[in-house]
Amino acid sequence: MNCKKSSLKQKKHDMSTMLPDEIEPINLNLIRKANAFIKQGNKASKPTENFVQRGKYDIDIDDGLAEALMLFSESAHIASSSIFITAFNIILQRYTGQNFTLLGQAVIKSEETEDVDIGCFWSEFNSRQTFLNQLRDIDTQVSGISDYTRLCSAQLPQGLAKLPIGEEFFQFFFVCEKENSVIRSANGAPEIELVNELINRFNRFYFGLHIKETIDNTSISLFFNQEQFGIGFIQRFGNHLINLLKTAIKDPDLSIGSYNILGNTEATVLLKDFNRTVTAYPKEKTLFSLFEEQVLKGPNNIALTKADKQLTYYEVNQRANRLAHQLIAEGIKPGDNVGLLVNRGFNMIIGMLGILKSGGAYVPIDPDYPIDRQEYIYNQSHLKIIVADANYKLKSVIGKKIFKLIDADVSNSFADANPNLSIDSTQLAYTIYTSGSTGRPKGVMIEHHSAVNLILWVNKIFNVGPTDKLLFITSMCFDLSVYDIFGMLAAGGTLVIAEKDEIQDVKKLYSMLVEYKITFWDSVPTTMNYLMRTLEMEEPAYRYDGLKTVFMSGDWIPVELPDKIKKFYPETAVISLGGATEGTVWSNFFVVEQVDKNWTSIPYGKPIANNFFYVLNDHLQPVPVGTIGELYIGGVGVARGYASDAEKTAASFIADPFNGGKMYKTGDLGRMMPDFNMEFIGRKDNQVKIQGFRVELGEIENVLSTSGLIRSALVLAKNDLQGVKRLVAYIVHKEVKVTKEVLALYLKEILPDYMIPAIWVEMERFPLTGNGKIDRNALPDVNEVPAADKKLVAAETETENTLLEIWKEYFKRNELDVTSNFFEIGGHSLMAVQILSKLKKITQKSFQISALYEYPTIRMLSMFIDSERRNYNYKSLVPIKQSGSKAPLYIIHGDGLNVLNFSELPKYVDPEQPLYGLQALGLNGVDEPIDSLPVIAYLYMQEIIEHNPSGPYLLAGYSSGGYVAMEIRKQMLTLGKKVEMLIIFDTDAEKTEYKDWYSLLPKKAKRHFPRLIQAFKMSVNQFFGGKSPYQVPPLIQKQDTKEFYKLMNKIKAKHVTAFRNYPLEPFNGKLYLYKAKISVHYVEYGNLLGWEKYAQKGVELFEVPGDHFSMLLPPHVAYLGATLQKNINDVMKGKI
């Protein structure tokens, strides 16, 4: 590729003159959207090699389309390449959901000059803009590309360095080849097509479009990373591109958002085939008629149980009939709304059935609701009568004439036979009020046939019958109660009613589960999660195994929860259900057999019988598989609308253009996955803007909740005192607490800075609504959110000023001050060498790298430099973390000779856990390095004992340091000192790096070498501070570090001799082995790396995510720190 340098210099423009004002936040947000697009490709989410295996897919343009494109291009006076680029951008926008695209770009303009312009290309989208106007905007950029130089990757904003590993600035690119361009050899013969060379230069990019223009025609191809995208995905993308071109050039004056990019077959699959759920059901039946059928089948069967009281089907029916006749006598007519204001008990169910049998629709009102809410429901639903079980305050507000008391024995003056009424199944059955965005609840009106369809489907599919018992723990004001009550009674089963105090006590719930032999569980996930946690902690003496079915819905299901349930109840069917109150309780379901390790959430599944689900864009068009859209529910489950609110009803319930009837606009985001199960993404209105970025709060919550560091998390956006919106994280800890700093560090490895919460609030548990859902509105207020701007602490001395300027130079950040911590702002070992080398030039003093451990801030380091301590004697013992009252852990260095690679560990252990490292002798450039391992161990041991004369002693060694730790233990035992723990980090027992391992390599090279190369490239870049496997760290000036590397090589040569000559021997002790999951060893040693032959009391294995290097870096070091601390705590319990 020949990118003319002179041309670049002459045409160079500042980025601020090229791009919109908000370009940087838009770009960074685009990258996150682009990565969501990449995950649609059905393969790995991150690259594994620097140079990826690239695929090519030629898009077929038939003769008819080719001719139409040519005619359109000529009539519009627009290059055909611009048409393809515009279509490519629009399809990317549809897939990513982002109204801004940024592409890497190259245009090959001439075969003779090999003139190539490279850089970035941007395009903003307004879905209401016409295709022709969008096309003209893009054509202006493409045709004017040679008027100025685009931004090359070396000039990208510094903020991009904060991108998580694997996220690149450009995920997409296009190459436009004007003619047949080649790179020619010296004799003029063609060597390689220029486009292939160019695309190789784009090896960091995941997905691109190649346009080749000749005099005769224009061809297009897709280039893609085969590790990221399956061929099926690529073919779909190509088909969508062609579909768009066909419709857009036919009618270019339509808005961009109005084009349907799906082909007829794909649209049929998504809209029709996926929704082939139509099933015959008795549409004429009502909720109470299903109950009456069971009264006839088993009148003496137990219908209701509460504590030690029971009612048979016959008894319940009699009481409900008396109430129905009483209501009819009071003037209730079919279709009237009747309030039900009762506590939990038999009267709740009798009241519902009695109201329905009278022809009315029941409207539940919780006696614990505030009086204004009760009055609002009364007025909004125009209640004719309120049936109550006590004289509540509402009676005095609305008048006693319409306030009717119900007791256990409704007056015998009313008949107990079924009322002789003809009730149409399209009549209203109930209205349940849910929270509304305006602060006022919305009354969702459901007809009989909708609920009947749901109930009969559940009972048939999950084989619910007379032997089943359901533990009723939900509120009657929550729509789960509809199935719990009427579904169980329609099956002839028994409803076991739990009291309020029992619902709030998980231990009591488990006791009821056992005592009443419950077979069917239905609740929000939170309740089941609490139940499983109790079982995990207490392991009851008697485990009830009769639980047949578990339904969970109404909130996010923790990914690990289904497997926990299966652990205690292996034969239980675990069902995830979803939908909306407006869709009659549930509209979709997924049977969880086993949790897939790649799931980030439990699949949303498929629609239930006679219900339809659609994933649509803002123009009500189906979106491609894998693409996020809004979920719409159609079918017989869709509610009638909202009580007394025609405006909201019209906005949320619209005509279903696909299958007839109406559909409900849920406000939920989701997508269709390739296996044709839906995935729930979150609420559309759960998006907030932070610093100009669009943020999904659910994404942050998911990363925190799946980190393994805490039990659960919620994230809200709140304004600080200056009115700036900040993120607030509410967290519930596990038994071992982690600090907010640890959590923030973990998030920074996965999310951009603007998605890191500014405030952290610790809670014992989250508040719940009466329905058992997490109540976000009840989370405690953060009374004083700190302002976003940090006040910088100025330098006060000449040394502080010098250090501050050095740090700003190397970190390339201006917001640093004298309190900035070297490690917290991204310092690493190479940067430490650079800074200390420059400091040596200025001060004429030598400083060890370990000085940064003791003095990590500019102010601390400055005080050290200015003090008389700067010429202290060399010590191998280095404090990594001095504070804490626990027994210190001593860590021996690996082949890196120092212990800087453990700089992240202190953030992930207990605040009371001290850590010390032992670095190699000779690093000061004065002492002679040692070539005997026993001597090295002896000298390290002397410093440990000097520091801690009486113990206890906890020893650890990283890599080759594992052998030194073993030898120190051996020598300590001869002195009568006890070593409580011996820990090694990813050390093999064969010492192959110090043997003639070349003879062993051929046997394993074929399988191990690719993985070794991959791990090495990724780990070295991470270890030296790179945020991406492909990010090259800044080069160290040779003149600054020549002596340093010469010294390091001298010490390493001595150590090779020491380790090669050291004989490993079996020892009478236990070994704690922390092994990296990704092996970079040349030879296969087995699961325990060969240590089972030496540790006579056994090896306890812990596999740490990552490889030999990255296991010490976030996010993997979080797991290492947590498990390490737990083991130390267990061993040392009661000893100090």
Q: Provide the pLDDT for residue 534.
A: 80
Q: Which pLDDT band, with edges at 50, 70 and 90, does 349 fall under?
A: very high
Q: Provide the pLDDT for residue 326.
A: 94
Highest-confidence range of 33-42, 196-205, 721-730, 955-964, by mean pLDDT?
Answer: 955-964
Q: Provide the pLDDT for residue 1033.
A: 28
Mean pLDDT of 87-95: 86
Q: Which residue has the higher pLDDT, 437 or 246?
A: 246
Q: Provide the pLDDT for residue 692.
A: 38
0.75 exceeded by pTM: no
Q: Which pLDDT band, with edges at 50, 70 and 90, does 209 fall under?
A: confident
Return the number of other C-beta atoms located less than 10 Å from residue 88's C-beta: 26
> Of 145, 103, 127, 212, whose CA–CA distance to 7 is shortest?
145
Q: Which pLDDT band, with edges at 50, 70 and 90, does 44 fall under?
A: very low
The terminus-to-terminus CA distance of the chain in angstroms comes to 67
- Rounded Cα distance, 42 and 850, in Å: 46
Q: Provide the pLDDT for residue 621.
A: 92
Residue 8 reports pLDDT greater than 60: no
Residue 963 reports pLDDT greater than 70: yes
Q: What's at 857, amino acid-wise?
A: T
- Rounded Cα distance, 1016 and 1106, in Å: 11
What six digits make up the tokens of 66? 């080719």
Q: Which pLDDT band, with edges at 50, 70 and 90, does 993 fall under?
A: very low
Q: Provide the pLDDT for residue 753.
A: 63
Bridge partners of 446, per DSSP, are 430
Mean pLDDT of 166-179: 56
Q: Which pLDDT band, with edges at 50, 70 and 90, does 22 fall under?
A: very low
- Rounded Cα distance, 145 and 176, in Å: 11
Q: Which pLDDT band, with edges at 50, 70 and 90, does 1048 fall under?
A: confident
The pLDDT tens digits of the residues spanning 850-886 come to 677 667 788 878 877 776 444 456 678 888 888 888 9
Residue 71 reports pLDDT greater than 50: yes
- Rounded Cα distance, 82 and 85, in Å: 5
Q: What percent of the chain has pLDDT over 70?
A: 74
Residue 402 reports pLDDT greater than 90: no
Q: Provide the pLDDT for residue 882.
A: 84
- Rounded Cα distance, 1035 and 1027, in Å: 16
Mean pLDDT of 609-629: 93
The pLDDT tens digits of the residues spanning 290-342 come to 999 999 999 999 999 999 999 999 999 999 999 999 999 999 999 999 999 99
Q: Provide the pLDDT for residue 916.
A: 93
Q: Provide the pLDDT for residue 725.
A: 63
- Rounded Cα distance, 433 and 381, in Å: 10
Q: Is the peptide bond before 157 cis (omega within 30 degrees of 0)?
A: no
φ and ψ at residue 575, rounded to 5 degrees: -120, 125
Residue 105 reports pLDDT greater than 60: no
Q: Which of 108-122, 675-689, 903-917, 972-986 has the lowest mean pLDDT?
A: 108-122
Strands (E), 895-1019: 915-918, 953-958, 979-985
> Of 761, 749, 782, 745, whose CA–CA distance to 713 is shortest?
761
Q: Provide the pLDDT for residue 314.
A: 98
Q: Provide the pLDDT for residue 31.
A: 38
Mean pLDDT of 463-492: 96
Please tell me the total number of residues recorded for the chain in this structure: 1136
Mean pLDDT of 151-172: 38
Q: Which pLDDT band, with edges at 50, 70 and 90, does 1008 fall under?
A: very low
Q: Provide the pLDDT for residue 379.
A: 94
Q: Provide the pLDDT for residue 613.
A: 97
SS3 state at 358 = coil
Q: What is the mean pLDDT of the chain?
A: 78
Q: Which pLDDT band, with edges at 50, 70 and 90, does 1031 fall under?
A: very low
Q: Characterize the bridge pairing of strands 182-184 and 190-193.
A: antiparallel
Q: Provide the pLDDT for residue 2.
A: 29
Q: Which pLDDT band, with edges at 50, 70 and 90, does 94 fall under?
A: confident
The pLDDT tens digits of the residues spanning 1055-1077 come to 888 888 888 889 999 999 999 88
- Rounded Cα distance, 367 and 370, in Å: 8
Q: Which pLDDT band, with edges at 50, 70 and 90, does 449 fall under?
A: very high
Q: Which residue has the higher pLDDT, 701 or 852?
A: 701
- Rounded Cα distance, 215 and 143, in Å: 17
Q: Provide the pLDDT for residue 372.
A: 81
Q: Which of 32-36, 360-364, 652-656, 968-972 has the lowest mean pLDDT?
A: 32-36
Mean pLDDT of 690-696: 53
What six digits make up the tokens of 747? 């998030």
Q: Provide the pLDDT for residue 887.
A: 92
> Of 842, 843, 848, 810, whose CA–CA distance to 826 is shortest?
810
Vertex 200: Cα angle to 198 and 203 (nearest 5): 120
DSSP 485: I
> Of 1114, 1028, 1020, whose CA–CA distance to 166 is shortest?
1028
φ and ψ at residue 448, rounded to 5 degrees: -55, -50
Q: What percent of the chain has pLDDT over 90?
A: 36
> Of 103, 80, 77, whose CA–CA distance to 92 is shortest?
103
Q: Which pLDDT band, with edges at 50, 70 and 90, does 1127 fall under?
A: very high
Residue 841 reports pLDDT greater than 60: yes
Mean pLDDT of 65-83: 88
Q: Provide the pLDDT for residue 603.
A: 95
Distance of CA 988 to the CA centre of its chain: 35
Return the number of other C-beta atoms located less than 10 Å from residue 36's C-beta: 20
Mean pLDDT of 721-750: 75
Burial track 401-418 (b if 16+ CB lie within 10 A, e otherwise):
ebbbebeeebeeebebeb
Q: Which pLDDT band, with edges at 50, 70 and 90, does 280 fall under?
A: very high
Please say whether the beta carbons of 961 and 894 come within 8 A: yes
Q: Provide the pLDDT for residue 653.
A: 98
- Angle, in degrees to the nearest 10, between helices 313-329 and 346-357: 50
Q: Provide the pLDDT for residue 178.
A: 62
Strands (E), 189-260: 190-193, 207-213, 218-225
φ and ψ at residue 183, rounded to 5 degrees: -90, 130
Q: Provide the pLDDT for residue 615.
A: 97
- Rounded Cα distance, 174 and 210, in Å: 6
> Of 964, 986, 987, whose CA–CA distance to 917 is shortest?
964
Q: What's at 1059, amino acid-wise?
A: F
> Of 3, 203, 193, whose CA–CA distance to 104 is shortest?
203
Domains of the chain: 26-38+50-261 (3.30.559.30), 700-778 (3.30.300.30), 873-1132 (3.40.50.1820)
Q: Provide the pLDDT for residue 107.
A: 53
Residue 972 reports pLDDT greater than 70: yes
What six digits make up the tokens of 1017? 């490239």
The pLDDT tens digits of the residues spanning 788-808 come to 445 678 887 888 888 898 888
